Chains A and B, each alone.
Chain A
Amino acid sequence: MLDGAADSGVPDGAILVQFTEAVLGADDLLLEQVRGRLRASLGDAKLVDAAGAVASFNAVVKVADGTGLTVDDFRRDLADKLRDELKLGFGPG
Protein backbone atom coordinates (compact mmCIF):
# COMPACT_ATOMS: atom_id res chain seq x y z
CA MET A 1 0.00 0.00 0.00
CA LEU A 2 3.02 2.25 0.22
CA ASP A 3 3.15 2.19 -3.58
CA GLY A 4 -0.28 2.92 -5.04
CA ALA A 5 0.84 1.71 -8.47
CA ALA A 6 1.49 -1.85 -7.31
CA ASP A 7 -1.00 -4.55 -8.30
CA SER A 8 -3.05 -5.38 -5.22
CA GLY A 9 -4.72 -8.44 -6.71
CA VAL A 10 -8.08 -7.01 -5.61
CA PRO A 11 -10.70 -6.86 -8.39
CA ASP A 12 -10.83 -3.32 -9.84
CA GLY A 13 -8.11 -2.41 -7.37
CA ALA A 14 -6.25 -0.12 -9.76
CA ILE A 15 -9.17 2.23 -10.39
CA LEU A 16 -10.14 2.23 -6.69
CA VAL A 17 -6.59 3.21 -5.68
CA GLN A 18 -6.44 5.89 -8.40
CA PHE A 19 -9.77 7.27 -7.17
CA THR A 20 -8.57 7.33 -3.55
CA GLU A 21 -5.40 9.17 -4.52
CA ALA A 22 -7.30 11.65 -6.67
CA VAL A 23 -9.87 12.46 -3.97
CA LEU A 24 -7.10 13.11 -1.45
CA GLY A 25 -4.96 14.96 -3.96
CA ALA A 26 -5.26 18.51 -5.24
CA ASP A 27 -5.75 17.97 -8.97
CA ASP A 28 -9.45 18.58 -9.63
CA LEU A 29 -9.23 17.72 -13.31
CA LEU A 30 -7.58 14.38 -12.57
CA LEU A 31 -10.26 13.61 -9.99
CA GLU A 32 -12.98 14.38 -12.52
CA GLN A 33 -11.40 12.02 -15.04
CA VAL A 34 -10.84 9.19 -12.59
CA ARG A 35 -14.33 9.58 -11.14
CA GLY A 36 -15.80 9.40 -14.65
CA ARG A 37 -13.87 6.21 -15.43
CA LEU A 38 -14.85 4.60 -12.14
CA ARG A 39 -18.51 5.49 -12.63
CA ALA A 40 -18.54 4.24 -16.22
CA SER A 41 -16.87 0.94 -15.36
CA LEU A 42 -18.31 0.12 -11.93
CA GLY A 43 -21.56 2.10 -11.71
CA ASP A 44 -23.12 4.56 -9.31
CA ALA A 45 -23.52 2.32 -6.27
CA LYS A 46 -19.82 1.43 -6.23
CA LEU A 47 -18.83 5.05 -6.83
CA VAL A 48 -20.88 6.08 -3.79
CA ASP A 49 -19.40 3.32 -1.62
CA ALA A 50 -15.87 4.14 -2.76
CA ALA A 51 -16.49 7.83 -2.01
CA GLY A 52 -17.83 6.87 1.40
CA ALA A 53 -14.80 4.76 2.26
CA VAL A 54 -12.34 7.49 1.23
CA ALA A 55 -14.33 10.06 3.22
CA SER A 56 -14.45 7.79 6.25
CA PHE A 57 -10.71 7.18 6.30
CA ASN A 58 -9.91 10.82 5.65
CA ALA A 59 -12.05 11.69 8.68
CA VAL A 60 -11.30 8.98 11.21
CA VAL A 61 -7.58 9.76 11.07
CA LYS A 62 -8.41 13.16 12.57
CA VAL A 63 -10.05 11.42 15.52
CA ALA A 64 -7.11 9.08 16.12
CA ASP A 65 -4.37 11.66 15.62
CA GLY A 66 -6.26 14.53 17.20
CA THR A 67 -6.67 12.62 20.44
CA GLY A 68 -3.26 10.91 20.35
CA LEU A 69 -4.92 7.53 20.52
CA THR A 70 -2.97 4.35 21.29
CA VAL A 71 -3.44 1.24 19.20
CA ASP A 72 -5.65 -1.52 20.66
CA ASP A 73 -3.85 -4.63 21.88
CA PHE A 74 -5.74 -6.85 19.45
CA ARG A 75 -4.65 -4.66 16.52
CA ARG A 76 -1.03 -4.72 17.68
CA ASP A 77 -1.17 -8.52 18.05
CA LEU A 78 -2.65 -8.92 14.56
CA ALA A 79 0.04 -6.66 13.08
CA ASP A 80 2.79 -8.57 14.90
CA LYS A 81 1.40 -11.87 13.63
CA LEU A 82 1.23 -10.59 10.06
CA ARG A 83 4.79 -9.29 10.24
CA ASP A 84 5.93 -12.71 11.47
CA GLU A 85 4.04 -14.55 8.73
CA LEU A 86 5.51 -12.32 6.05
CA LYS A 87 8.95 -12.42 7.69
CA LEU A 88 9.08 -8.65 7.91
CA GLY A 89 10.94 -8.59 11.22
CA PHE A 90 13.74 -6.09 11.49
CA GLY A 91 15.76 -7.99 14.07
CA PRO A 92 19.20 -9.49 13.48
CA GLY A 93 19.48 -12.46 11.14
Chain B
Amino acid sequence: MITADIATVKPPHIRADLASAIERSWRRLSGPGTWWSGAQRLRIVAETRNAVHCPLCHERKAALSPNAVAGTHASLGTLPDVVVDVIHRVRTDANRLSEAWIERVLAAGLSDAEYVEIVGIVATATGLDTFSRALGTAPAALPAPRAGAPSRRRPRGARKSIARVPTVSPADMTDEDVNPYPQYGQVHIQQALSLVPEAVIEFFDLDTALYLKQDWIRDFTREYRSLTHAQLELIASRASVINGCYY
Protein backbone atom coordinates (compact mmCIF):
# COMPACT_ATOMS: atom_id res chain seq x y z
CA MET B 1 0.00 0.00 0.00
CA ILE B 2 1.29 3.46 -0.88
CA THR B 3 1.17 5.74 2.13
CA ALA B 4 1.30 9.51 2.26
CA ASP B 5 4.93 9.18 3.38
CA ILE B 6 5.95 7.63 0.09
CA ALA B 7 4.28 10.37 -1.87
CA THR B 8 5.25 13.43 0.15
CA VAL B 9 8.11 12.79 2.57
CA LYS B 10 11.73 12.56 1.55
CA PRO B 11 13.10 9.17 2.61
CA PRO B 12 15.87 9.25 5.20
CA HIS B 13 19.47 8.75 4.18
CA ILE B 14 20.51 5.13 4.58
CA ARG B 15 24.08 4.63 5.79
CA ALA B 16 26.40 3.38 3.05
CA ASP B 17 27.16 -0.06 4.51
CA LEU B 18 23.46 -0.86 4.82
CA ALA B 19 22.61 0.45 1.35
CA SER B 20 25.38 -1.73 -0.09
CA ALA B 21 24.16 -4.79 1.83
CA ILE B 22 20.65 -4.26 0.46
CA GLU B 23 22.01 -4.06 -3.08
CA ARG B 24 24.01 -7.24 -2.59
CA SER B 25 20.92 -8.99 -1.22
CA TRP B 26 18.89 -8.25 -4.32
CA ARG B 27 21.75 -9.32 -6.57
CA ARG B 28 22.06 -12.62 -4.70
CA LEU B 29 18.31 -13.22 -4.63
CA SER B 30 18.10 -12.74 -8.39
CA GLY B 31 20.93 -15.16 -9.18
CA PRO B 32 21.25 -18.92 -9.03
CA GLY B 33 21.48 -20.35 -5.54
CA THR B 34 22.53 -23.80 -4.43
CA TRP B 35 19.27 -25.60 -5.24
CA TRP B 36 17.06 -23.01 -6.97
CA SER B 37 17.64 -20.91 -10.11
CA GLY B 38 17.54 -17.11 -10.08
CA ALA B 39 14.07 -17.11 -11.64
CA GLN B 40 12.81 -19.60 -9.05
CA ARG B 41 14.34 -17.63 -6.18
CA LEU B 42 12.60 -14.46 -7.33
CA ARG B 43 9.31 -16.38 -7.56
CA ILE B 44 9.89 -17.38 -3.93
CA VAL B 45 10.42 -13.71 -3.03
CA ALA B 46 7.23 -12.72 -4.87
CA GLU B 47 5.29 -15.47 -3.08
CA THR B 48 6.75 -14.31 0.25
CA ARG B 49 5.27 -10.88 -0.39
CA ASN B 50 1.98 -12.42 -1.48
CA ALA B 51 1.73 -14.60 1.64
CA VAL B 52 0.89 -11.68 3.94
CA HIS B 53 -2.37 -11.20 2.00
CA CYS B 54 -3.40 -14.89 2.02
CA PRO B 55 -6.87 -15.39 3.64
CA LEU B 56 -6.02 -18.96 4.65
CA CYS B 57 -2.88 -17.77 6.46
CA HIS B 58 -4.89 -15.07 8.26
CA GLU B 59 -7.48 -17.63 9.33
CA ARG B 60 -4.80 -20.06 10.52
CA LYS B 61 -2.95 -17.35 12.39
CA ALA B 62 -6.12 -16.54 14.32
CA ALA B 63 -6.92 -20.19 15.08
CA LEU B 64 -5.88 -21.99 18.24
CA SER B 65 -3.94 -24.42 16.05
CA PRO B 66 -2.95 -23.91 12.40
CA ASN B 67 -3.87 -27.55 11.83
CA ALA B 68 -7.49 -26.79 12.73
CA VAL B 69 -8.02 -24.83 9.51
CA ALA B 70 -8.01 -26.59 6.14
CA GLY B 71 -7.95 -24.86 2.79
CA THR B 72 -5.83 -23.66 -0.09
CA HIS B 73 -3.36 -20.80 -0.04
CA ALA B 74 -4.06 -17.79 -2.25
CA SER B 75 -0.88 -18.12 -4.29
CA LEU B 76 0.54 -16.45 -7.39
CA GLY B 77 0.43 -19.85 -9.10
CA THR B 78 4.07 -19.89 -10.13
CA LEU B 79 5.42 -22.51 -7.71
CA PRO B 80 4.42 -26.04 -6.65
CA ASP B 81 1.87 -26.28 -3.83
CA VAL B 82 4.37 -27.69 -1.35
CA VAL B 83 6.74 -24.78 -1.93
CA VAL B 84 3.87 -22.30 -1.55
CA ASP B 85 2.89 -23.91 1.75
CA VAL B 86 6.46 -23.63 3.07
CA ILE B 87 6.73 -19.97 2.04
CA HIS B 88 3.37 -18.99 3.51
CA ARG B 89 3.86 -20.86 6.78
CA VAL B 90 7.39 -19.58 7.35
CA ARG B 91 6.40 -16.01 6.45
CA THR B 92 3.17 -15.79 8.44
CA ASP B 93 3.19 -18.35 11.29
CA ALA B 94 6.75 -19.57 11.74
CA ASN B 95 6.62 -20.03 15.49
CA ARG B 96 4.02 -22.80 15.15
CA LEU B 97 5.86 -25.00 12.67
CA SER B 98 6.30 -28.54 13.90
CA GLU B 99 8.62 -31.45 13.25
CA ALA B 100 5.66 -33.43 11.85
CA TRP B 101 4.87 -30.65 9.38
CA ILE B 102 8.47 -30.53 8.14
CA GLU B 103 8.41 -34.31 7.71
CA ARG B 104 5.22 -34.01 5.63
CA VAL B 105 6.83 -31.32 3.48
CA LEU B 106 9.86 -33.51 2.85
CA ALA B 107 7.65 -36.53 2.15
CA ALA B 108 5.83 -34.43 -0.47
CA GLY B 109 9.01 -34.26 -2.52
CA LEU B 110 10.99 -31.27 -1.31
CA SER B 111 14.56 -32.07 -0.26
CA ASP B 112 15.82 -30.84 3.11
CA ALA B 113 18.37 -28.61 1.36
CA GLU B 114 15.74 -27.13 -0.98
CA TYR B 115 13.63 -26.45 2.13
CA VAL B 116 16.50 -24.71 3.93
CA GLU B 117 17.25 -22.48 0.95
CA ILE B 118 13.58 -21.44 0.82
CA VAL B 119 13.65 -20.56 4.53
CA GLY B 120 16.71 -18.38 3.91
CA ILE B 121 15.09 -16.61 0.96
CA VAL B 122 11.86 -15.98 2.90
CA ALA B 123 13.85 -14.59 5.84
CA THR B 124 15.97 -12.31 3.65
CA ALA B 125 12.95 -11.05 1.71
CA THR B 126 11.14 -10.43 4.99
CA GLY B 127 14.06 -8.39 6.27
CA LEU B 128 14.23 -6.29 3.10
CA ASP B 129 10.50 -5.61 2.96
CA THR B 130 10.15 -4.94 6.69
CA PHE B 131 12.94 -2.38 6.42
CA SER B 132 11.14 -0.64 3.53
CA ARG B 133 7.85 -0.66 5.43
CA ALA B 134 9.53 0.74 8.53
CA LEU B 135 10.95 3.66 6.55
CA GLY B 136 7.74 4.29 4.61
CA THR B 137 9.31 3.51 1.26
CA ALA B 138 7.77 1.26 -1.39
CA PRO B 139 9.02 -2.34 -1.52
CA ALA B 140 11.79 -2.66 -4.09
CA ALA B 141 10.75 -3.80 -7.54
CA LEU B 142 11.97 -7.33 -8.23
CA PRO B 143 15.08 -7.35 -10.42
CA ALA B 144 15.39 -9.45 -13.56
CA PRO B 145 16.61 -12.98 -12.85
CA ARG B 146 20.22 -13.74 -13.64
CA ALA B 147 21.04 -16.81 -15.68
CA GLY B 148 22.99 -19.79 -14.36
CA ALA B 149 22.49 -23.19 -12.85
CA PRO B 150 22.27 -23.90 -9.11
CA SER B 151 25.51 -25.37 -7.74
CA ARG B 152 23.69 -28.32 -6.08
CA ARG B 153 26.48 -28.90 -3.60
CA ARG B 154 25.61 -30.47 -0.25
CA PRO B 155 28.20 -30.20 2.55
CA ARG B 156 29.53 -33.66 3.48
CA GLY B 157 29.55 -32.87 7.19
CA ALA B 158 25.83 -32.10 7.40
CA ARG B 159 23.98 -33.99 10.12
CA LYS B 160 20.97 -33.52 12.33
CA SER B 161 21.97 -32.22 15.75
CA ILE B 162 20.84 -28.73 16.78
CA ALA B 163 17.79 -28.26 14.53
CA ARG B 164 14.97 -30.12 12.78
CA VAL B 165 17.05 -29.98 9.60
CA PRO B 166 20.67 -31.08 9.15
CA THR B 167 23.32 -28.47 9.87
CA VAL B 168 27.10 -28.35 9.57
CA SER B 169 28.99 -27.65 12.77
CA PRO B 170 32.10 -25.47 12.48
CA ALA B 171 34.24 -28.54 13.20
CA ASP B 172 32.62 -30.46 10.33
CA MET B 173 33.28 -27.82 7.68
CA THR B 174 35.76 -29.06 5.07
CA ASP B 175 38.09 -27.13 2.80
CA GLU B 176 35.65 -27.80 -0.04
CA ASP B 177 32.81 -26.02 1.78
CA VAL B 178 32.02 -22.35 1.60
CA ASN B 179 32.60 -21.53 5.27
CA PRO B 180 30.48 -18.63 6.58
CA TYR B 181 31.52 -18.97 10.22
CA PRO B 182 34.78 -16.94 10.33
CA GLN B 183 32.96 -13.86 9.07
CA TYR B 184 29.52 -14.19 10.64
CA GLY B 185 30.03 -16.15 13.87
CA GLN B 186 29.12 -19.71 14.77
CA VAL B 187 26.42 -19.75 17.42
CA HIS B 188 23.34 -21.79 16.62
CA ILE B 189 21.57 -19.06 14.66
CA GLN B 190 24.46 -18.88 12.20
CA GLN B 191 24.50 -22.69 11.92
CA ALA B 192 20.74 -22.93 11.28
CA LEU B 193 20.91 -22.57 7.48
CA SER B 194 24.31 -24.22 7.10
CA LEU B 195 23.01 -27.16 5.06
CA VAL B 196 23.16 -24.45 2.39
CA PRO B 197 26.24 -22.45 3.42
CA GLU B 198 25.59 -19.74 0.83
CA ALA B 199 22.21 -19.14 2.49
CA VAL B 200 24.00 -18.32 5.75
CA ILE B 201 26.13 -15.73 3.96
CA GLU B 202 23.15 -14.36 2.06
CA PHE B 203 21.09 -13.85 5.21
CA PHE B 204 23.76 -12.60 7.60
CA ASP B 205 25.39 -10.25 5.11
CA LEU B 206 22.11 -8.32 5.24
CA ASP B 207 21.24 -9.02 8.86
CA THR B 208 24.51 -7.76 10.31
CA ALA B 209 24.04 -4.48 8.41
CA LEU B 210 20.47 -4.13 9.61
CA TYR B 211 21.40 -4.90 13.22
CA LEU B 212 24.89 -5.70 14.50
CA LYS B 213 27.76 -8.05 13.73
CA GLN B 214 27.92 -11.03 16.09
CA ASP B 215 30.99 -9.82 18.01
CA TRP B 216 29.48 -6.33 18.40
CA ILE B 217 26.36 -7.58 20.14
CA ARG B 218 28.03 -8.13 23.51
CA ASP B 219 30.78 -5.55 23.15
CA PHE B 220 29.52 -2.96 25.59
CA THR B 221 32.75 -0.92 25.48
CA ARG B 222 31.45 1.14 22.57
CA GLU B 223 28.36 1.82 20.48
CA TYR B 224 28.32 0.79 16.82
CA ARG B 225 25.06 2.42 15.76
CA SER B 226 23.30 5.72 16.42
CA LEU B 227 21.09 3.81 18.87
CA THR B 228 22.68 2.36 21.99
CA HIS B 229 22.90 -1.35 22.78
CA ALA B 230 20.07 -0.91 25.28
CA GLN B 231 17.84 0.79 22.71
CA LEU B 232 18.55 -1.85 20.07
CA GLU B 233 17.88 -4.66 22.54
CA LEU B 234 14.61 -3.02 23.57
CA ILE B 235 13.47 -3.10 19.93
CA ALA B 236 14.76 -6.65 19.54
CA SER B 237 12.94 -7.81 22.66
CA ARG B 238 9.63 -6.24 21.69
CA ALA B 239 9.82 -7.60 18.13
CA SER B 240 10.69 -11.06 19.43
CA VAL B 241 7.75 -11.06 21.86
CA ILE B 242 5.36 -9.98 19.10
CA ASN B 243 6.68 -12.76 16.88
CA GLY B 244 6.55 -15.34 19.67
CA CYS B 245 10.23 -16.07 19.14
CA TYR B 246 11.62 -18.54 21.66
CA TYR B 247 15.21 -18.11 20.44
Residues of A within 8 A of B (CB): 1-2, 4, 8, 10-13, 16-17, 19-21, 23-24, 28-29, 31-32, 35-36, 39, 43-72, 74-75
Q: Are B134 and A50 in contact (CB under 8 A)?
A: yes
Q: Are B226 and A61 in contact (CB under 8 A)?
A: no
Q: Are B127 and A56 in contact (CB under 8 A)?
A: yes
4 smallest beta-carbon distances between A and B, as pairs: A68-B164, A59-B127, A51-B134, A65-B94
Contact pick for B242, options A20, A28, A65, CB 8 Å:
A20
Q: Are B135 and A47 in contact (CB under 8 A)?
A: yes
**B157-186 vs A, Cβ < 8 Å mask (1 yes, 0 no):** 000001111010000000000000000000
Contact pick for A32, options B14, B136, B239, CB 8 Å:
B136
Q: Are B193 and A67 in contact (CB under 8 A)?
A: yes
Q: List 13 A-B pairs, Cβ < 8 Å.
A: A13-B231, A32-B3, A32-B4, A48-B12, A48-B226, A51-B131, A54-B239, A55-B127, A55-B134, A61-B240, A65-B94, A67-B193, A69-B163
Query: Is residue B39 contacting chain A, with contact meaning CB distance below 8 A?
Result: no
Q: Are B90 and A53 in contact (CB under 8 A)?
A: no
- For the complex, what is the distance from the CA of A49 to the CA of B14, rounded to whole Å? 9
- For the complex, what is the distance from the CA of A50 to the CA of B243, rounded to whole Å? 17
- For the complex, what is the distance from the CA of A18 to the CA of B239, rounded to whole Å? 11
B194 to chain A, nearest CB (A): 9
Number of interface residues of B (CB under 8 A): 68
A-B CB pair tally, cutoff 8 Å = 214
Contact pick for A62, options B122, B128, B131, CB 8 Å:
B122
Q: Are B234 and A35 in contact (CB under 8 A)?
A: no
Q: Are B133 and A66 in contact (CB under 8 A)?
A: no
Query: Which of A2, A50, A60, A67 has most chain B Cβ within 10 Å?
Result: A67
Chain A binding surface SS class: helix
- For the complex, what is the distance from the CA of A8 to the CA of B187, rounded to whole Å? 28
- For the complex, what is the distance from the CA of A2 to the CA of B245, rounded to whole Å? 12
Q: Are A68 and B163 in contact (CB under 8 A)?
A: yes
Residues of B within 8 A of A (CB): 1, 3-5, 9, 12-15, 18, 90-91, 94-95, 97, 99, 102, 116, 119-120, 122-124, 126-128, 130-131, 133-136, 162-165, 167, 187-189, 192-193, 203, 206-207, 209-211, 225-228, 230-232, 234-243, 245-247
* Chain A residues with CB below 8 A from B116, complex form: 67
A77 to chain B, nearest CB (A): 13
Contact pick for B238, options A4, A28, A63, CB 8 Å:
A4
Q: Are A1 and B237 in contact (CB under 8 A)?
A: yes
Q: Are B97 and A66 in contact (CB under 8 A)?
A: yes
Q: Are A64 and B234 in contact (CB under 8 A)?
A: no
Q: Are B15 and A48 in contact (CB under 8 A)?
A: yes
* Chain A residues with CB below 8 A from B134, complex form: 19, 23, 35, 50-51, 54-55
Q: Are A59 and B130 in contact (CB under 8 A)?
A: yes
